[in-house]
Chains A and B, each alone.
Chain A
């Protein structure tokens, strides 16, 4: 199975900050990686797919990069609506696996 390791688990930041979340795969997953945002009590929403493609309607302050085993999600200037939990997911092979999540909280 491909293990996905996110860091940090919790991130405290302020509105306007630039933040980066990293995700490492235990083996090469090429670009088969997605990032999701989840708010309390809601279903996750896709932000980025194929490692760096921005989902339609997602603000341009979100960006993704990486390939192979190392990936990043960057929010260029945090907005109040961005405080949520973020998950990476590999879909190169079964079983599909998620990172453990990064909770982004207000400093």
Chain B
């Protein structure tokens, strides 16, 4: 069974940092594009970042460029999101997600999500 399990969410003050982790199982992690997608409370879905299987390319939504860094450890089947200079607008449930074997892949599956709350 394909599984994605996130961790690392929590309460952080504006300007602070947080690192999210996602452990994958049930598939050959090193072959897949991986994503982070977030959802602010009561709002829609927003793609945040993508990383290529071989780590050679990373893509970000404009609102997090320069503040967030996506990374992966293929030996440990793990995906990460380092979030710096957090603002209230970054408050959301963050989902780890598997995309496809190339960059034109849909999302399947999604992790259960981890809540990040930015508040003083």
**Which A residues lie at the B interface, using CB under 8 A?**
32, 34, 36, 38, 43-46, 49-50, 55, 87, 89, 91-92, 94-101
Chain A residues, CB < 8 A from B109: 43, 45-46
* In the bound complex, CA of A50 to CA of B106 (Å): 8
Given A43-B95, A94-B59, A89 and B50 contact (CB-CB distance below 8 Å): no
Binary interface profile of B, 12-52, with partner A (CB < 8 Å = 1, else 0)? 00000000000000000000000100000000111100100
Q: Are A98 and B108 in contact (CB under 8 A)?
A: no
- Min CB distance, A54 to chain B, in Å? 12
- Min CB distance, B118 to chain A, in Å? 21
Q: Are A91 and B99 in contact (CB under 8 A)?
A: yes
Chain B residues, CB < 8 A from A49: 106, 108
**Which B residues lie at the A interface, using CB under 8 A?**
35, 44-47, 50, 59-62, 95, 99, 103-113
Q: Are B106 and A46 in contact (CB under 8 A)?
A: yes
- Min CB distance, B66 to chain A, in Å? 15
- Min CB distance, A47 to chain B, in Å? 10
Chain B residues, CB < 8 A from A44: 45, 95, 107, 110
Q: Are B111 and A43 in contact (CB under 8 A)?
A: yes
Q: Are A95 and B61 in contact (CB under 8 A)?
A: yes
A43 CB contact (under 8 Å) in B46, B50, B113 = B113
Q: Are B44 and A98 in contact (CB under 8 A)?
A: yes
Chain A residues, CB < 8 A from B60: 95
Chain B residues, CB < 8 A from A92: 104
Q: Are A98 and B45 in contact (CB under 8 A)?
A: yes
A-B contact pairs, 18 of them (CB 8 A): A36-B107, A43-B111, A43-B112, A44-B95, A45-B109, A46-B107, A46-B108, A46-B109, A89-B47, A91-B99, A91-B104, A91-B106, A91-B107, A95-B47, A98-B44, A98-B46, A99-B44, A101-B44
Closest B residue, CB atoms, query A49: B106
Chain A residues, CB < 8 A from B46: 98
Q: Are A87 and B47 in contact (CB under 8 A)?
A: no
Chain B residues, CB < 8 A from A46: 106-109
A34 CB contact (under 8 Å) in B61, B107, B112 = B107
